[in-house]
Every structure is written in structure tokens, then in C-alpha cells.
């Protein structure tokens, strides 16, 4: 989404949070109500210095008005994807280890607990190792 669309969507939200109407923002900025209306409808887009003044007037950051924020849905999707990769790496690692040394249920539980408690950085490193092992297997 471009800055104009983000601004059009976010400006009314932050004005509402600040308890400001279009006329209030127009007065605070020394501009006409129709100018503010054009921003809200997307017919016009202010210069960056004006966006800074708007942010100051309604008590937010400039980025709040023009930068796309991840939604909780996208964050949940990302968390689910990371969890899925971690589980895949754990499964692949477990399968790689088992043929060489069969694990008992207690060893499986210990390995699962180690994986579950590993940091994201450690899991990423494990995934990288597994990916390189996969590439080596297909290269032969």
C-alpha cells in the first residue's frame, strides 16, 4: 500500500484518538477544512513537513501516518511459519539421527524439549545446517 493510501486510512484514526474533527485540525495547522477533507478522502496528499505538523497536532509520530504496520494476522502467520520451519527442522534432524543411533522415547522427549526451549537464533542455525545437508544430499 502506498503512503497516500496509508495516510488516508490512518489520519482519521489518529484524529479520533486525539478527539479532533476536521475543523479542529485545520485550525491547528492554519489551513482550510477543505484541505483536511481532501487528505482524508485521498484527493490530496500533504508535503512531508506538513505531515510532521499534522503528527505533532494530533499527538502521533510521522511514521504512524505513512508507514504500513504489520497486522496481528500477519504477525500470527509469521509466528506460525517460524514454528512450522522449526518443527520441520526438528523432524528432519530427528530422522537424520535415528538411523545412526536409534533413540528411546526418553531420548526423543529430551531432544524435543531441547528444541522447544532453544532460542530462535539456535533454531535458525539448525535450519541452516539442515538446509545445507539437504543441498549436499541433492548435489550427489
For residues 87 and 124, state if they share a domain. Answer: yes
- Which range marks the domain in which residue 20 is found? 3-66
CATH number at residue 52: 1.10.260.40
For residues 96 and 99, what is the distance between their CA atoms, to the nearest angstrom?
6
For residues 45 and 84, state if they share a domain. Answer: no
| pTM exceeding the 0.85 threshold for the entire prediction | no
Enter the DSSP assignment of 90: H
User: What are phi and psi for residue 44, nearest 5 degrees?
Assistant: -140, 160
For residues 93 and 43, what is the distance between their CA atoms, to the nearest angstrom?
56
Structural domains of the chain, count: 2
| Residues in the chain, overall count | 140
Q: Can you give the pLDDT at residue 34?
A: 96
DSSP H helices, the chain, are 3-18, 22-29, 33-41, 48-58, 62-66, 72-97, 105-117, 120-139
For residues 34 and 51, state if they share a domain. Answer: yes
Q: Can you give the pLDDT at residue 83?
A: 63
Report, as ranges of residue numbers, the positions in the chain whose pLDDT lies below 70: 70-103, 133-140
For residues 40 and 12, state if they share a domain. Answer: yes
Residue 6, Cβ neighbours under 10 Å: how many?
17
Residue 26 CB partners (closer than 8 Å, separation 6+): 32, 33, 35, 36
Enter the DSSP assignment of 44: -
Structural domain ending residue among the three candidates 48, 66, 84: 66
For residues 132 and 76, state if they share a domain. Answer: yes
For residues 8 and 65, what is the distance between their CA atoms, to the nearest angstrom?
8
Structural domain ending residue among the three candidates 44, 66, 88: 66
Amino acid at each position: 500500500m502506498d503512503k497516500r493510501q496509508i495516510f488516508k486510512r490512518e489520519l482519521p484514526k489518529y484524529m479520533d484518538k486525539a478527539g479532533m474533527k476536521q475543523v479542529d485540525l485545520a485550525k491547528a495547522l492554519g489551513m482550510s477544512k477543505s484541505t483536511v477533507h481532501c487528505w482524508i478522502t485521498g484527493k490530496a496528499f500533504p508535503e512531508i513537513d506538513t505531515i510532521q505538523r499534522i503528527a505533532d497536532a494530533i499527538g502521533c509520530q510521522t511514521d504512524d501516518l505513512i508507514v504500513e504496520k504489520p497486522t496481528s494476522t500477519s504477525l500470527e502467520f509469521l509466528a506460525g511459519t517460524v514454528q512450522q520451519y522449526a518443527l520441520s527442522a526438528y523432524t528432519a534432524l530427528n530422522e537424520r539421527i535415528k538411523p545412526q543411533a536409534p533413540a528411546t522415547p526418553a531420548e526423543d522427549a529430551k531432544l524435543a524439549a531441547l528444541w522447544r526451549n532453544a532460542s530462535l537464533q539456535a533454531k535458525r542455525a539448525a535450519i541452516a545446517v539442515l538446509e545445507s545437508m539437504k543441498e549436499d544430499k541433492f548435489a550427489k
